Amino acid sequence: MFETLGFEEIGPRAVFLYFALALGLGFGVLAQITRFCFRRALIGEDRRQAAGIWALALAVSVLGTQTAVLQGWISFDGHRLLASELPLLAIVLGGVMFGAGMILTRGCISRLTVLSGTGKLRALVCVMLFAITAHATLKGVLAPLRTALGSTAVALGDYATLAALPGGAPVWSVLVALPALWIALRAQNSTLALLGGALMGALVPLAWVKPGCVLFDEFDPIAMESLSFTAPMSEGLFYVIAASAVPAGFGPGLIAGVLIGALITALLRGQFQWQSFESPRQTGRYALGAILMGFGGVLAGGCTLGAGRAGISPLGLAAPLALAAIALGGVVTHRCCTALLAQRLPQPPHRKPNKRHNRQSDQGCEHTLAHVQHRRQGIHQVGGQRNGVVADRHH
């Protein structure tokens, strides 16, 4: 189809790069405005509103993607998200690790990428550590460990997708989208926030359709990719290191677009502010969280977007399992960190009883009691004298 749009001179891969840049630009702008983050939706102080935006984006992602499938624009046949074998151990372990890292860094990798464009240097450091760890897990020293953990798989056969269950894709799309829409409507978000969440969700099917339909080329096929940050971070790191040897692809374009979009939005809204680490302890915590997310994201098959919204939209079973493991790891880590913090907080010293003060209080009470008794006796005496006077008068 790309020939009919006048792209034959540029080529589909160059157009794909520009499209990834535009997609990342849109995500960066919308994510900065809506403060889109799965961690915030999970344990944030305003988690109800954040969960509403995230759920609305999920519903639009699923409905939009399945509409494109029913129209015949895209097909997920042979895609890794619908693989017949489910690496159960890798997905669960990776998801829990990613969720734990997300809590330690106070944001998932997509949120940290957005924050990097707004002057948050600690987020930028986490992004770099995440990219290095993800690349080492995919193609470096951690690849054998990834392969060993992924070897434990469960054969699902034709039931690797919800579309194979009774009712098919249309019924299951509605069953997934309806609870998400219910959460979104009960979250009491503003109309602008809901619009932002809907647009965030629309980016997922748009990303699927572009390479799967518009840029489809039988002689030079392009793998279908949507919003994700784990593999694109690895690709972006490799391109930065070896740009003269490898062409830029979807990953570098997406990451660059997110950074530019977040930067422009922060500058226009007056939200750009330089911020770094406050202590060595905080630096270590963030570094550990970034490494856990980098390794866990590869094992789980993606981040909260790649294994979340974009991963669930084809109705595969691996993505919901990964997202549940991420949520579990996040909640457990948050509770553990909260308990440890409560133990470290200084306890108010116990005040010893002041014996002198107690003796003074007892003496005061005794004096007051004696005074009351003395007044009562005086009242009785006066009362008796009055009665006597009255009696004398009567006599």
19-71 tens-digit pLDDT: 999 999 999 999 999 999 999 999 999 999 999 999 999 999 999 999 999 99
Domain ranges of the chain: 2-341
Confidence of residue 216 (pLDDT cuts 50, 70, 90): low
Percent of the chain residues topping a pLDDT of 70:
82
Please tell me which residue, 351 or 73, carries the higher pLDDT value: 73
Whole-number pLDDT of residue 7: 53
Other Cβ atoms closer than 10 A to 175:
13
* Measured distance CA(266)–CA(260) in Å, rounded: 10
Q: Which tokens in the block code for residue 265?
A: 């939005």
Whole-number pLDDT of residue 343: 83
Please tell me which residue, 237 or 341, carries the higher pLDDT value: 237
The mean-pLDDT minimum among 8-22, 31-45, 85-99, 364-378 falls in: 364-378
Whole-number pLDDT of residue 359: 46
* Spatial CB neighbours of 333, under 8 Å, sequence gap ≥ 6: 99, 100, 103, 104
Residue with tokens 């760890």: 133
Whole-number pLDDT of residue 80: 85
Whole-number pLDDT of residue 389: 36
Percent helix, strand and coil across the chain, each to the nearest 5: 75, 0, 25
User: What is the residue-averaged pLDDT of the chain?
Assistant: 85
Amino acid, single-letter form, for residue 265: T
Do 66 and 170 touch, CB atoms closer than 8 A? yes
Whole-number pLDDT of residue 394: 38
Highest-scoring range by mean pLDDT, 71-75, 194-198, 206-210: 194-198
Residue with tokens 């006597």: 388
Residue 316: φ, ψ to 5°: -80, 165
Please tell me which residue, 247 or 203, carries the higher pLDDT value: 203
Start-end of H helices in 301-345:
310-312, 318-344
114-126: average pLDDT = 97
Whole-number pLDDT of residue 160: 86
Q: H or E stretch including 359?
A: helix 355-394
* Measured distance CA(211)–CA(157) in Å, rounded: 27
Amino acid, single-letter form, for residue 321: L
Please tell me which residue, 390 or 340, carries the higher pLDDT value: 340
Amino acid, single-letter form, for residue 48: R
276-301: average pLDDT = 96
Task: Calculate ∠ Cα 110-111-114, nearest 5°.
Answer: 90
Residue 2 in this model has a pLDDT that exceeds 70: no
Whole-number pLDDT of residue 214: 52
Residue 45: φ, ψ to 5°: -65, -30
* Measured distance CA(265)–CA(274) in Å, rounded: 15
272: helix, strand or coil: coil
Q: Is 361 exposed, middle or buried (0-12, 13-18, 19+ CB in 10 A)?
A: exposed
